[in-house]
Amino acid sequence: MTTRVAPRRATRPLPAPLARRFEALLFDWDGTAVLDRQADGSEVRELVDELCAYGFVLGIVTGTHLGNVDGQLAARPPGPGRLYLCMNRGSEVFVADEAGVHLRYRREATPAEDAGLDAAAEATVAALGARGLRAEIVSQRLNRRKIDLIPEPEWSDPPKARIAELLQAVQERLRAAGLVSLQEAVQIGYDAAVAAGLPDPRVSSDAKHVEIGLTDKSDSARWLLEELARLGIGPGLVAVAGDEFGPLGGLPGSDSLLLVGEADRATAFSVGAEPTGTPAGVIPLGGGPARFADVLRDQLERRHRGDPPDIEDDPAWTLMVDGVDAHLERVHESLLAIADGHIGTRATPLFAHTAADPSVFVGNRYVGEGSETELARAPLWNTLPGRPATPAGVRRRLDLRSGLLRHDGPAEALQLSSLARPGTVAMRVLAKRRRLPESNRRVLEHDGVTTALFDRSEAGRLERIGAVARSESEALSALAAAGDAGFERLLAEHRGRWAARWAEADIVVEGDAELQRALRFTLFHLMASVPESGEAAVGARGLSGHGYRGHVFWDTDVFVLPFFAATHPESARAMLEYRLRRLTAAREAAARLGYAGARFPWESAASGVDVTPSHAHLPGGGIARIRTGEAEEHIVADVAWAADTYLGWTGDRAFEQGPFRTLLTETARYWASRVRLDHEGRAHILGVIGPDEYHEPVDDNAFTNVMARWNLRRAAAIGGSETERAQWLRVADALVDGYDEMSGLYEQFAGFFELEPLVIADIAPRRPIAADVLLGHERTAQAQVLKQADVLMLHQLVPDEVAPRSFLSNLDFYEPRTAHGSSLSPAVHASLLARAGRFREALAALRIAARMDLDDLTSSSSAGVHLATMGGLWQALAFGFAGVRPRGDVLVVDPRLPREWSALELRLRFRGNPLRLRIERTGVSIDAPPALALRKLDEHWEVVLT
Amino acid sequence: MNKVIAALDNSLATSPVLATASALAELFGAEVEPVHVRTDGARVARSVAEAAGLRLRELRGPIVESLCRTADDPEVVALVLGARGTPVAKRPLGSTAVAVATDIDKPLAVVPPDAQVAPSLRRVLVPIEAASRSLTPRTIVQIARGTGIDIVALHVIDETTVPAFTDQPQHENETRTREFLRRYCPWGIDNVQLEIRVGHVHQLVAPVADETNVDLIALGWSQQIGAGRARVVQTTLEQAHVPVLLLPVEIAKTSTGAAGGHVLATV
């Protein structure tokens, strides 16, 4: 809301499709915004200035040049909105702001193109002349040539009001020359352009002229829509205005060129007379520039009074929940949770409901002690006092593209947790039949976290801006800064930031719309859950729920970090910083056990000390001792692997020379001290738990040993003293890995092959299944039934460390024995099955991973989304199907595309360079800066640094 | 004043029936009225009632009709009768009890002849299924909440409902328990202890009741007894060593899915 003077209201109500808030408007100038080039543009200028101050984005699309439009409009609007001037029929784009008018883009014709335009124009004049029609080339504008079909003084500069007369006069001339219609004249121009060597000429007519060009208004429209996408504004939030959409002389109206495919969901309207009608989907508003001004005033009024903005209603990007289902409400609140890397807010209904579980989680902040340590919760900012709404009338929608949560029902609201200003939140509410809190400012505290809120309430509307921080002074300072920015600027920043993040990380699967939606949901939660600076303690459920108390597992290092290493390395670095800052605790843990180096805990929280609970109630009754904290030690190598993964994608030399070396050294020291040598000099790691937690503890778990071996070798390549390096390499070579050359199999742990050879795929009613519940704990422990990929994880994480050609034999052996009783498992198998080209099984596993939270497959999504499954899903697409993997200074691309998909596209960042990788049946291509190039080898591709 | 009817016959269950009625009366805030449908003399029934300081009301007429008519009284909140049989030779509900159970729309407690009935109810076992069309007896849970009685909610996983994932049980089980209760027993979440077992529910109710030392088993049921129906009720009545309270439950007509079903609609 604002203290500005209320704008003049629209003269007449607008039709329903226009009576809503838009975020951007593309419009024609001459005849739409102003009557003609002589009209006074001051009223439009005022409206433009005000709208831009409210964050509105405007784009003028016209055939004329800048001088004509800017001469009339002369707008120099303040932000946060923008004014784009798309001039010269799609060939130029300028931005006008307080500092002036700046060129953003110009299509530069090559000399050959210029020559082609000249030749085409001359040929057209000649062709018309041959038919007895005198025409003249009247201008050589940027990238186009204009041919006057009626070069007579009477028609030298006809006003728009005489268009019908003009058209008749031109048609008479054409008929006299034996031409059937204006279309035929345009066709002559088009044929001439093609003959002149222009491959994609844009030829049109405004009744008086035939215009041959390299671009047209559709290019302007596309440019603007792309720019709006970069600002986080989708076409559903855009209005398009003109006065000549309908056909003219048998040719499409000039403004119909604005209706490009990308604008399908935009709302188009015409203020023109449109004598032949408007195309389907264009609202015939009429009323000329005066009515256009009404539309602008209406938009201004909505912003002035503080209406909650709407969100894009794109099915590919929207999650929607209707009503409040008492059974599923907590799940829905997790799925629609919004977060900004620092805080996460569950999508609770605006007004309290008994089924709700409202919380605001604070990342990197814990309360409690020992295994009871849990994420701190901030005071609520997203709910209002009052009786619960009737569930049937409530709708919540999450726009994944812009991270905005919209509520509809007895109150409308828009909520955001600012990705541009983590910890800052904002909400606008319009209550139709509700009493809202009075304007107030307050400071609340919970779990040592402060939330400062400022409410401005007026006439049934509430605007709330808040800041969550670790201290009152920090919160108040952030609140003041946010208040100075204002809601519209916060919204614009937030949208823009999300748009930038999507541009870095989006995945497109062509051929599977349902998977595509699930992927967007997945990527949204990944990006929302991790900060991009400082340290990032990423709990198993991110910031969306209380599940797992925010404890940090190998989930974070192995499943989540790779996504960030490959798309947003700052966040990956923050995740590593979390581990690095707990090296001291890790060293102490190792020392307590009599080992050297650093031993990271299975479950980590604030201090880096192990916080794994010691017991659990079992589903079948009884209490079980939990040994993972004592014995699941592969976490040590997992952390090292995560650091190496980050390095592989980024090439961060400073990290490599400093923290990476320290981390690898300390973890290698741990393994070197941890092993036990037998009398034959073979090294063993006894009494551990591998990823397959159905068997515990075991000796010589293949995953643990091979990862330890990798860890030792990697460390020897980069750190340690000469003596240490030699020792590490000796130990690495001596470590048993359970591999049998004859069978090609890795024995998962010593004695695994002697267990009861149950193949869970044959006996279970379905998979995934909790085999320990189905068969009982004891029976499962005595059988060859796996909870999740164990040996196979080696092929996923360190494929170069396992025996060559051992992949398929181990896949054939272990996959049917895997119950997938861990939600981490399906995504890993999807990846591996894709590598093996077993697409039917790979896609089945992929779908399970993709629907894990959407279908509440674990019955625990009420406590938050499964971030590791989400990271695993990304890895399945990236490593499994796209076959992307850094190898030194090269990014290997070895895709496996199922026939169900026509293309797979990933956004990645390799060595600091963004790239869009596209995989199709016909091959691979990249869209990248010059620093990267794609080369094809025999069996695969490589992206190389140039 | 509300009443709990204790239907006393001359069997071994007579004393436990009256004791159960007293305990239920305390729960429902009612008084006990012992009745006897005179068929073969009322000596045992009369003496048990007198020993409890109560006056026996004798009814005449067909047993089932008499008891049903008595239960129809708006002041009657529950009926208690004995399971036929001796501790040695157990049988499920006798024909009288079946007829009464399927006819009245009020709680009916069936008391085994060897039941050791506590003077006050401290703990009640309630089986709960993970289904929106649930027979969970909401009323008993709500009443228990108001009187400080502990509820042991029993959920049995069978082959068709074995969960897909275990993940980290030290965290997962706590979450699932909490969520399960919020979904299927939200009215008493603060005083409900969830016991999860694997097997077949009809085989587990009575053993778990023994294991958890409850005073009463409360079963919601649809009042349909016959081939293949009410298996839990029948088996529990055969095996229980404590009174079993049968609560008629109208199945909700909701169509929302059970846990694990499709959660979300996209636009």
Contacts of B182 in chain A (CB under 8 A): 330, 355, 862
* Window 616-635 of A, Cβ < 8 Å to B: 616-621, 624, 626, 628
Rounded Cα distance, A537 and A575, in Å: 6
Phi/psi at A398 (nearest 5 deg)? -110, 120
Confidence (pLDDT) at A164? 81
Contacts of A313 in chain B (CB under 8 A): 267
Instruction: Mutate one of A617, A618, A822, A859 to test the B interface: name it (highest B CB count within 10 A).
Output: A859
> Tens of pLDDT along A122-144?
999 999 999 999 999 987 788 99
Contacts of B170 in chain A (CB under 8 A): 371, 612-616, 626, 628
Cβ neighbours of residue A180 under 8 Å, at least 6 residues apart? A174
State the sign of the Cα–Cα–Cα–Cα dihedral A893, A899, A901, A902. positive
Q: Do B164 and A548 touch (CB under 8 A)?
A: no
Rounded Cα distance, A335 and A231, in Å: 25
Tell me which of A679 and A180 has the higher pLDDT. A679
CA of A780 vs chain B CAs: smallest distance (Å): 13
Q: Cβ distance A242 to A86 under 8 Å?
A: no
Tell me which of A756 and B50 has the higher pLDDT. A756
Q: What is the mean pLDDT of residues B180-190?
A: 80
Q: Do A326 and B160 touch (CB under 8 A)?
A: no
> Tens of pLDDT along A252-269?
899 999 999 999 999 999
Confidence (pLDDT) at B253? 43
Confidence (pLDDT) at B113? 82
> Tens of pLDDT along A497-540?
999 999 999 999 999 999 999 999 999 999 999 999 999 999 99
Phi/psi at A853 (nearest 5 deg)? -90, -35
Contacts of A400 in chain B (CB under 8 A): none
Confidence (pLDDT) at B188? 65
Per-residue buried b or exposed e for B60-96, using 16+ beta carbons within 10 Å of the residue's own CB:
eeebbebbbebbeeeebbbbbbbbbbeeeebebbbeb
For residue A365, give Cα distances in angstroms to A378, A470, A521, A525.
10, 9, 25, 19
Contacts of B178 in chain A (CB under 8 A): 863
Q: Do B264 and A397 touch (CB under 8 A)?
A: no
* Window 787-806 of A, Cβ < 8 Å to B: 787
CA of A104 vs chain B CAs: smallest distance (Å): 36
Q: Do B197 and A859 touch (CB under 8 A)?
A: no
Q: Which of B167, B173, B186 sits opposite A822 (nearest CB)?
A: B167
Tell me if chain B has a CB within 8 Å of the CB of A822.
yes
Q: Do A621 and B197 touch (CB under 8 A)?
A: yes
DSSP category for residue A107? -
Confidence of residue B90 (pLDDT cuts 50, 70, 90): low
Q: Do B263 and A855 touch (CB under 8 A)?
A: yes
Confidence of residue A352 (pLDDT cuts 50, 70, 90): confident
Q: Which of B165, B266, B267 sits opposite A770 (nearest CB)?
A: B165
Q: What is the DSSP string of B41-79?
A: --HHHHHHHHHTT-PPEEE-S-HHHHHHHHHHSTTEEEE
Confidence (pLDDT) at A313? 86
Tell me which of A823 and B91 has the higher pLDDT. A823
**Among the listed residues B36, B38, B31, the one whose alpha carbon sits nearest the alpha carbon of residue B13:** B36
Confidence (pLDDT) at B260? 29
Q: Do B163 and A855 touch (CB under 8 A)?
A: no
Catalytic residue (choose from A312, A693, A724, A747) = A693
Confidence (pLDDT) at B257? 33
CA of A787 vs chain B CAs: smallest distance (Å): 9
Q: What is the mean pLDDT of residues A611-624?
A: 83
Q: Do A620 and B157 touch (CB under 8 A)?
A: yes
Q: How many C-beta atoms surround the C-beta of residue B264 within 10 A?
A: 19
Q: What is the mean pLDDT of residues A885-892?
A: 96
Rounded Cα distance, A99 and A916, in Å: 34
pLDDT tops 90 at residue B84: no
For residue A32, give Cα distances in angstroms to A38, A41, A295.
13, 12, 11
- The verdict on ipTM greater than 0.95 is no
Confidence (pLDDT) at A95? 98
**Among the listed residues B113, B135, B96, the one whose alpha carbon sits nearest the alpha carbon of residue B19:** B113
Q: What is the mean pLDDT of residues B139-155?
A: 80
Contacts of B169 in chain A (CB under 8 A): 616-619, 624, 626
A693 is catalytic: yes
Mean pLDDT for chain A? 95
- Interface residues of chain B, partner chain A, Cβ below 8 Å: 132, 157, 159-160, 162-180, 182-183, 186, 195-198, 256-257, 259-267
Q: Cβ distance B184 to B252 under 8 Å?
A: no
Tell me if chain B has a CB within 8 Å of the CB of A856.
yes
Rounded Cα distance, B202 and B127, in Å: 10
Q: Name the token pair of A678.
A: 């037998």
- CB contacts < 8 A, A to B, total 157
Percent with pLDDT over 70 in chain A: 99
Tell me which of B117 and A631 has the higher pLDDT. A631
Tell me which of B250 and A23 has the higher pLDDT. A23
Q: Which of B175, B196, B264 sits opposite A860 (nearest CB)?
A: B175
CA of A883 vs chain B CAs: smallest distance (Å): 28
Confidence (pLDDT) at A138? 87
Confidence (pLDDT) at A263? 95
Q: Do B173 and A616 touch (CB under 8 A)?
A: yes
Tell me which of A672 and B219 has the higher pLDDT. A672
Most confident of A399-403, B5-9, B42-46, B50-54: A399-403
Most confident of A384-393, A832-841, B242-251: A832-841
Contacts of A768 in chain B (CB under 8 A): 164-165
Percent with pLDDT over 90 in chain A: 89
pLDDT tops 70 at residue A274: yes
pLDDT tops 90 at residue B5: yes
Confidence (pLDDT) at B261? 26
Instruction: Mutate one of B133, B154, B166, B179 to test the A interface: name it (highest A CB count within 10 A).
Output: B166
The residue in chain A having the minimum alpha-carbon distance to the alpha carbon of residue B212 is A621
Confidence (pLDDT) at A869? 98
Contacts of B175 in chain A (CB under 8 A): 546-547, 860, 862-863
- Beta bridge mates, A202: A213
Confidence of residue A636 (pLDDT cuts 50, 70, 90): very high
